Amino acid sequence: MSDLEPIIRIEGLGKSFPTSGGVVKVLDDISLEIRRGEIFGIIGMSGAGKSTLVRCINFLEQPTTGAIYFDGRDLSRLSLPELYRVRRSMGMIFQQFNLLMQRNALQNVCFPLEIAGVKKAEAAEKAKKLLDLVGLPDKAKAYPSQLSGGQRQRVAIARALATDPQVLLCDEATSALDPSTTRGVLELLRDINRRLGVTIVVITHEMGVIEGICRRVAIIDEHRIAEIGNVDEVFLRPKSAAAKRMFYPDGMQTDSFKGNRRCRIVFDGNSSFQPVIADMVLKFHRTVNIIFADTKDIDGRAFGQIVIQLPETDDVADKMLEYLRSQGLTAEEVREHVQ
């Protein structure tokens, strides 16, 4: 299999659950490919079906329709021992860390190795190396209760890596952590991706997490895929209402600006707003109202967005939009409240 071939391919995945109130459809016609060695993000609001999707990816849940391929193999056609082997190739980390509280950090990391029948001394040696890798060389004997949230997640990452997985599935892995600890854990995941070549799938409801480490993203909305693309592309030119909701600043969504023409200008770090906006004001002899301005880091590159209120006079507003685009900026008019 070449590097360009997907390590995980999801085709027409649907998942429904029978409940006392009838059948609940949780995932509908999900198709996507996760490429070997990439950091791929899956984002959606609470209840969108993200955790169900993860459990379908490692076949802890059987899809109702469609298929999941891992390394080109249809998981529904595997024998149970083959499926267990595939599951060992997919490490998982969770929001609540799921460590065994009565075992210390080293023993937690050893746990999957013991299950796999690895000799104790060999398992301990590997676990030590993994604790070094996640930045906890001095915490081998510490129990989870003696560790901070970020340190617990690092132990969980070491444990997930113990079986040398090809893929690491991270289900809301930083949702219980504060922003600075989140940054540290994301940095660690990026480092693991670079150093070990492990494919990482990040499932989250937080756009900051996607922007922080993912190259590509799938947005799940109402149980379906609303949009898939490179994170920077989706940020620059979101197409679906779900993507716009996630990337547009809150100021874009206030009804207080109804009736005015608003424009979202995005820059990708190669250009700066200030001279362009100042030049535009000078050129058209009209002031513009800046509603919102922000910069963000997407996968290590600086991006920015600014929302301005255009003049009421339509032809001036049209010319301003034309001018902004002629300066190489992505300028998009937003007339409506984003639902």
Ligand X SMILES: Nc1ncnc2c1ncn2[C@@H]1O[C@H](COP(=O)(O)OP(=O)(O)OP(=O)(O)O)[C@@H](O)[C@H]1O
Which residues are at the interface with ligand X (CB under 6 A)? 17, 19, 24, 26, 44, 46-52, 205
d(CA 268, CA 303): 5
- Shortest distance (Å) from residue 32 CB to ligand X: 15
Whether 199 and 7 have beta carbons less than 8 Å apart is answered as: yes
Strand order in the sheet with 65-70: 22-35, 6-19, 65-70, 73-74
Whether 172 and 204 have beta carbons less than 8 Å apart is answered as: yes
d(CA 339, CA 336): 9
Q: Smaller CB distance to ligand X: residue 48 or 263?
A: 48
- Shortest distance (Å) from residue 95 CB to ligand X: 9
Q: Smaller CB distance to ligand X: residue 48 or 113?
A: 48
- Shortest distance (Å) from residue 55 CB to ligand X: 8
Count the Cβ atoms, other than its own, within 10 Å of residue 179: 9
Q: Smaller CB distance to ligand X: residue 48 or 158?
A: 48
- Shortest distance (Å) from residue 17 CB to ligand X: 3
Q: Smaller CB distance to ligand X: residue 22 or 179?
A: 22
- Shortest distance (Å) from residue 59 CB to ligand X: 15
**For residue 141, what is the enclosing H or E element?**
none
Give the type of residue at 271. S
Percent of residues in the chain assigned helix, strand, coil, to nearest 5: 40, 30, 30
Q: Smaller CB distance to ligand X: residue 2 or 19?
A: 19
From the number of C-beta atoms within 10 Å of its C-beta (0-12, 13-18, 19+), residue 128 rates as: middle
Q: Which of 267, 252, 332 is nearest to 303 (CA)?
A: 267
Q: Smaller CB distance to ligand X: residue 19 or 339?
A: 19
Q: Smaller CB distance to ligand X: residue 45 or 321?
A: 45
Angle of helix 120-133 relative to helix 149-161, nearest 10 degrees, comes to: 130
- Shortest distance (Å) from residue 196 CB to ligand X: 27
- Shortest distance (Å) from residue 42 CB to ligand X: 9
- Shortest distance (Å) from residue 77 CB to ligand X: 24
- Identify each DSSP E strand in the chain by its residue range: 6-19, 22-35, 39-44, 65-70, 73-74, 90-94, 167-171, 199-204, 216-221, 224-230, 262-267, 289-298, 301-309, 330-334
d(CA 262, CA 244): 14
Angle of helix 105-115 relative to helix 120-133, nearest 10 degrees, comes to: 130
Q: Smaller CB distance to ligand X: residue 136 or 170?
A: 170
